[in-house]
Amino acid sequence: MYLVGHVERMVAKNAAVEFNAAKWLGAWLDAPLPALGGVRPGSYLDTMTGQDLLDELLAMAESGAYA
């Protein structure tokens, strides 16, 4: 899943500690997200459009932008 790769790149640029990107992403996908009106990000995984939206949200989080 390319979202795991996105998180791994985010952490590699910004952290000096060992980090399990897949585990973090799993928790993020399962928790309600205010930027999605309280919907779990995992509910967007069934379409490429939804996955692209999640990728954009991760990019915004990386840059410090708030959605």
Which pLDDT value is given to residue 65? 75
How many residues can be counted in the chain? 67
DSSP classification of residue 27: H
Going by pLDDT thresholds of 50, 70 and 90, the confidence category of residue 8 is: confident
Tell me the pTM: 0.73
pLDDT at residue 45 greater than cutoff 80: yes
**67 CB contacts (<8 Å, ≥6 apart)?**
35, 57, 60
DSSP classification of residue 47: S
Q: Which of 37, 43, 42, 36 is nearest to 57 (CA)?
A: 36
pLDDT digits (tens, 9 = 90+) for 47-64: 999 999 999 999 998 888
